[in-house]
Amino acid sequence: MSKLLERELESLREQLVEQFTVVEQMIQLAVRSLVQRRPDLADRVVESDAGVDATDVKIEEECLKLLALHQPVAGDMRQLIAVIKINGELERMADTACNIAERAKALASFPLFRVPEELSEMVDATIGMVRRALDSFVNSDSRMAVDVIKMDDLVDTLNRVIIDQLQELMKRDNDLIEPAVHCFSASRHLERIADLAENLAEEVIYLVEGEIVRHKHGYKFDAKSGGQRSIP
Protein backbone atom coordinates (compact mmCIF):
# COMPACT_ATOMS: atom_id res chain seq x y z
CA MET A 1 0.00 0.00 0.00
CA SER A 2 1.34 3.45 -0.93
CA LYS A 3 1.66 6.05 1.81
CA LEU A 4 -0.86 8.25 -0.01
CA LEU A 5 -3.48 5.50 -0.19
CA GLU A 6 -2.81 4.62 3.45
CA ARG A 7 -3.49 8.22 4.50
CA GLU A 8 -6.61 8.42 2.35
CA LEU A 9 -8.01 5.22 3.84
CA GLU A 10 -7.34 6.44 7.37
CA SER A 11 -9.12 9.71 6.56
CA LEU A 12 -12.13 7.74 5.30
CA ARG A 13 -12.22 5.72 8.51
CA GLU A 14 -12.18 8.91 10.58
CA GLN A 15 -15.02 10.41 8.55
CA LEU A 16 -17.02 7.22 8.93
CA VAL A 17 -16.54 7.21 12.71
CA GLU A 18 -17.75 10.84 12.84
CA GLN A 19 -20.79 9.86 10.75
CA PHE A 20 -21.44 6.97 13.15
CA THR A 21 -21.43 9.42 16.07
CA VAL A 22 -23.86 11.83 14.42
CA VAL A 23 -26.26 9.05 13.46
CA GLU A 24 -26.18 7.56 16.96
CA GLN A 25 -27.06 10.97 18.41
CA MET A 26 -29.95 11.26 15.96
CA ILE A 27 -31.30 7.89 17.09
CA GLN A 28 -31.03 8.85 20.76
CA LEU A 29 -32.81 12.15 20.19
CA ALA A 30 -35.50 10.46 18.12
CA VAL A 31 -36.36 7.93 20.84
CA ARG A 32 -36.22 10.61 23.54
CA SER A 33 -38.65 12.71 21.54
CA LEU A 34 -40.92 9.66 21.31
CA VAL A 35 -40.83 8.62 24.96
CA GLN A 36 -40.77 12.13 26.46
CA ARG A 37 -43.21 13.68 23.94
CA ARG A 38 -40.64 16.29 22.90
CA PRO A 39 -41.38 17.60 19.38
CA ASP A 40 -38.44 20.00 19.72
CA LEU A 41 -36.05 17.05 19.88
CA ALA A 42 -37.76 15.50 16.87
CA ASP A 43 -37.14 18.72 14.92
CA ARG A 44 -33.44 18.53 15.77
CA VAL A 45 -33.29 15.01 14.36
CA VAL A 46 -34.84 16.05 11.08
CA GLU A 47 -32.54 19.08 10.84
CA SER A 48 -29.46 16.85 11.26
CA ASP A 49 -30.36 14.68 8.30
CA ALA A 50 -29.08 17.12 5.66
CA GLY A 51 -25.59 16.99 7.16
CA VAL A 52 -25.63 13.18 7.15
CA ASP A 53 -26.72 13.15 3.50
CA ALA A 54 -23.91 15.53 2.53
CA THR A 55 -21.31 13.42 4.33
CA ASP A 56 -22.72 10.26 2.77
CA VAL A 57 -22.16 11.68 -0.72
CA LYS A 58 -18.71 13.00 0.17
CA ILE A 59 -17.48 9.66 1.52
CA GLU A 60 -18.83 7.74 -1.48
CA GLU A 61 -17.23 10.16 -3.93
CA GLU A 62 -13.87 9.84 -2.17
CA CYS A 63 -14.11 6.05 -2.26
CA LEU A 64 -14.83 6.08 -5.99
CA LYS A 65 -11.92 8.45 -6.56
CA LEU A 66 -9.53 6.12 -4.70
CA LEU A 67 -10.78 3.14 -6.68
CA ALA A 68 -10.10 4.97 -9.94
CA LEU A 69 -6.72 6.47 -9.00
CA HIS A 70 -5.09 3.63 -7.08
CA GLN A 71 -6.84 0.51 -8.40
CA PRO A 72 -6.42 -1.20 -5.02
CA VAL A 73 -6.40 -4.98 -4.60
CA ALA A 74 -6.82 -7.50 -1.77
CA GLY A 75 -7.17 -5.90 1.67
CA ASP A 76 -7.21 -2.33 0.37
CA MET A 77 -10.04 -3.12 -2.01
CA ARG A 78 -11.92 -4.83 0.81
CA GLN A 79 -11.57 -1.74 3.00
CA LEU A 80 -13.02 0.52 0.32
CA ILE A 81 -15.92 -1.82 -0.41
CA ALA A 82 -16.70 -2.09 3.32
CA VAL A 83 -16.56 1.69 3.76
CA ILE A 84 -18.97 2.23 0.86
CA LYS A 85 -21.45 -0.31 2.28
CA ILE A 86 -21.21 0.88 5.88
CA ASN A 87 -21.61 4.47 4.71
CA GLY A 88 -24.85 3.56 2.93
CA GLU A 89 -26.21 1.71 5.97
CA LEU A 90 -25.52 4.75 8.17
CA GLU A 91 -27.42 7.03 5.80
CA ARG A 92 -30.39 4.66 5.88
CA MET A 93 -30.15 4.56 9.67
CA ALA A 94 -30.36 8.36 9.80
CA ASP A 95 -33.42 8.34 7.54
CA THR A 96 -35.08 5.81 9.83
CA ALA A 97 -34.30 7.98 12.86
CA CYS A 98 -36.12 10.80 11.05
CA ASN A 99 -39.10 8.49 10.55
CA ILE A 100 -39.18 7.82 14.30
CA ALA A 101 -38.99 11.56 14.94
CA GLU A 102 -42.00 12.15 12.68
CA ARG A 103 -43.99 9.49 14.58
CA ALA A 104 -42.92 11.16 17.83
CA LYS A 105 -44.27 14.51 16.64
CA ALA A 106 -47.58 12.90 15.74
CA LEU A 107 -47.76 11.04 19.06
CA ALA A 108 -47.16 14.28 20.98
CA SER A 109 -50.79 15.17 20.25
CA PHE A 110 -51.82 12.30 22.56
CA PRO A 111 -50.12 13.10 25.88
CA LEU A 112 -52.21 10.61 27.84
CA PHE A 113 -51.33 7.66 25.63
CA ARG A 114 -48.90 5.33 27.39
CA VAL A 115 -46.36 3.57 25.24
CA PRO A 116 -45.68 -0.09 26.15
CA GLU A 117 -43.04 -0.51 28.84
CA GLU A 118 -41.10 -2.89 26.60
CA LEU A 119 -40.31 -0.01 24.27
CA SER A 120 -37.67 1.33 26.68
CA GLU A 121 -35.96 -2.05 26.73
CA MET A 122 -36.14 -2.19 22.94
CA VAL A 123 -34.57 1.28 22.72
CA ASP A 124 -31.69 0.26 25.01
CA ALA A 125 -31.04 -2.92 23.06
CA THR A 126 -31.11 -1.14 19.69
CA ILE A 127 -28.80 1.67 20.75
CA GLY A 128 -26.53 -0.96 22.30
CA MET A 129 -26.34 -2.70 18.92
CA VAL A 130 -25.46 0.55 17.16
CA ARG A 131 -22.73 1.40 19.67
CA ARG A 132 -21.27 -2.10 19.59
CA ALA A 133 -21.27 -2.07 15.80
CA LEU A 134 -19.25 1.16 15.92
CA ASP A 135 -16.83 -0.33 18.44
CA SER A 136 -16.38 -3.44 16.30
CA PHE A 137 -15.53 -1.23 13.32
CA VAL A 138 -13.12 1.03 15.22
CA ASN A 139 -11.33 -1.96 16.78
CA SER A 140 -11.61 -4.25 13.74
CA ASP A 141 -13.15 -6.78 16.11
CA SER A 142 -15.13 -9.46 14.30
CA ARG A 143 -16.07 -11.25 17.53
CA MET A 144 -17.77 -8.08 18.75
CA ALA A 145 -19.55 -7.85 15.40
CA VAL A 146 -20.88 -11.37 15.92
CA ASP A 147 -22.26 -10.25 19.29
CA VAL A 148 -24.19 -7.49 17.51
CA ILE A 149 -25.79 -10.01 15.18
CA LYS A 150 -26.86 -12.16 18.12
CA MET A 151 -28.47 -9.15 19.86
CA ASP A 152 -30.96 -8.70 17.02
CA ASP A 153 -33.10 -11.61 18.24
CA LEU A 154 -33.95 -9.70 21.44
CA VAL A 155 -35.03 -6.61 19.50
CA ASP A 156 -37.21 -8.72 17.19
CA THR A 157 -38.86 -10.40 20.18
CA LEU A 158 -39.57 -7.08 21.91
CA ASN A 159 -40.98 -5.64 18.71
CA ARG A 160 -43.45 -8.54 18.44
CA VAL A 161 -44.50 -8.11 22.09
CA ILE A 162 -45.08 -4.37 21.58
CA ILE A 163 -47.08 -4.89 18.40
CA ASP A 164 -49.25 -7.51 20.08
CA GLN A 165 -50.01 -5.12 22.94
CA LEU A 166 -50.84 -2.27 20.60
CA GLN A 167 -53.18 -4.47 18.58
CA GLU A 168 -55.05 -5.42 21.76
CA LEU A 169 -55.34 -1.73 22.71
CA MET A 170 -56.81 -0.88 19.32
CA LYS A 171 -59.35 -3.70 19.62
CA ARG A 172 -60.49 -2.51 23.06
CA ASP A 173 -60.71 1.22 22.42
CA ASN A 174 -61.29 2.91 19.06
CA ASP A 175 -60.04 6.21 20.47
CA LEU A 176 -56.59 4.67 20.87
CA ILE A 177 -56.25 3.54 17.29
CA GLU A 178 -54.50 6.64 15.98
CA PRO A 179 -51.83 6.99 18.73
CA ALA A 180 -51.34 3.21 18.76
CA VAL A 181 -50.67 3.25 15.02
CA HIS A 182 -48.04 5.97 15.49
CA CYS A 183 -46.42 3.92 18.25
CA PHE A 184 -46.68 0.77 16.14
CA SER A 185 -44.85 2.54 13.31
CA ALA A 186 -42.15 3.87 15.65
CA SER A 187 -41.51 0.37 16.99
CA ARG A 188 -41.15 -1.01 13.47
CA HIS A 189 -38.70 1.76 12.58
CA LEU A 190 -36.69 1.00 15.71
CA GLU A 191 -36.58 -2.65 14.71
CA ARG A 192 -35.34 -1.53 11.29
CA ILE A 193 -32.46 0.37 12.89
CA ALA A 194 -31.47 -2.83 14.70
CA ASP A 195 -31.50 -4.67 11.36
CA LEU A 196 -29.24 -1.99 9.89
CA ALA A 197 -26.88 -2.33 12.86
CA GLU A 198 -26.77 -6.06 12.12
CA ASN A 199 -25.90 -5.24 8.50
CA LEU A 200 -23.08 -3.01 9.73
CA ALA A 201 -21.73 -5.84 11.85
CA GLU A 202 -21.79 -8.17 8.84
CA GLU A 203 -19.72 -5.64 6.89
CA VAL A 204 -17.20 -5.46 9.74
CA ILE A 205 -16.84 -9.25 9.57
CA TYR A 206 -16.26 -8.96 5.84
CA LEU A 207 -13.68 -6.23 6.41
CA VAL A 208 -11.76 -8.19 9.05
CA GLU A 209 -12.21 -11.79 7.90
CA GLY A 210 -12.87 -11.39 4.19
CA GLU A 211 -15.98 -13.58 4.45
CA ILE A 212 -19.46 -12.58 3.33
CA VAL A 213 -21.89 -13.74 6.03
CA ARG A 214 -25.15 -12.22 4.80
CA HIS A 215 -28.10 -14.62 4.52
CA LYS A 216 -26.38 -17.32 6.55
CA HIS A 217 -28.26 -18.97 9.41
CA GLY A 218 -25.51 -18.59 11.99
CA TYR A 219 -22.05 -17.31 12.59
CA LYS A 220 -19.59 -18.48 15.21
CA PHE A 221 -16.10 -17.54 16.32
CA ASP A 222 -13.65 -20.39 15.91
CA ALA A 223 -11.23 -20.10 18.82
CA LYS A 224 -8.86 -22.77 17.46
CA SER A 225 -8.18 -21.04 14.18
CA GLY A 226 -8.53 -17.53 15.55
CA GLY A 227 -11.02 -16.72 12.83
CA GLN A 228 -14.68 -16.96 11.98
CA ARG A 229 -16.65 -19.76 10.39
CA SER A 230 -20.17 -19.77 9.10
CA ILE A 231 -22.73 -22.31 10.23
CA PRO A 232 -25.23 -23.58 7.60
Contacts of 136 (CB under 8 A, 6+ apart): 142, 144, 145, 147, 148, 201, 204
List, for residues 191-214, the tens digit of each pLDDT value: 999 999 999 999 999 888 888 887
Question: 75 falls in which pLDDT band (50, 70, 90)?
Answer: confident
Is the pLDDT assigned to residue 7 strictly greater than 60? yes
- Average of per-residue pLDDT values in the chain: 88
One-letter amino acid at 11 equals S
Q: What domains, with CATH codes, occur in the chain?
A: 3-221 (1.20.58.220)
pLDDT given at position 215: 65
Contacts of 30 (CB under 8 A, 6+ apart): 41, 42, 45, 97, 98, 100, 101, 104
Residue pair 191/184 in contact by the 8 Å Cβ criterion: no
Radius of gyration in angstroms for the set of CA atoms belonging to the chain, rounded to a whole number:
19
pLDDT given at position 232: 36
194 secondary structure, DSSP code: H
pLDDT given at position 224: 37
pLDDT given at position 148: 95
List, for residues 102-120, the tens digit of each pLDDT value: 999 999 999 889 899 999 9
Helices (H) and strands (E) in the chain — how many of each?
A: 6, 2
- Helices 177-209 and 74-107: crossing angle in degrees, nearest 10, is 170
pLDDT given at position 91: 96
List, for residues 163-172, the tens digit of each pLDDT value: 999 999 999 9
Query: What is the number of other CB atoms lying within 10 angstroms of the CB of residue 61?
Result: 10
Give the integer Cα–Cα distance in Å for 29 and 106. Answer: 15
Is the pLDDT assigned to residue 231 strictly greater than 50? no
Give the integer Cα–Cα distance in Å for 158 and 137. Answer: 26
SS3 category, 189: helix
Which has the higher per-residue pLDDT, 185 or 82?
A: 185
Query: What is the number of other CB atoms lying within 10 angstroms of the CB of residue 124?
Result: 14
Which range has the worst mean pLDDT, 74-83, 87-96, 167-176, 193-202? 74-83
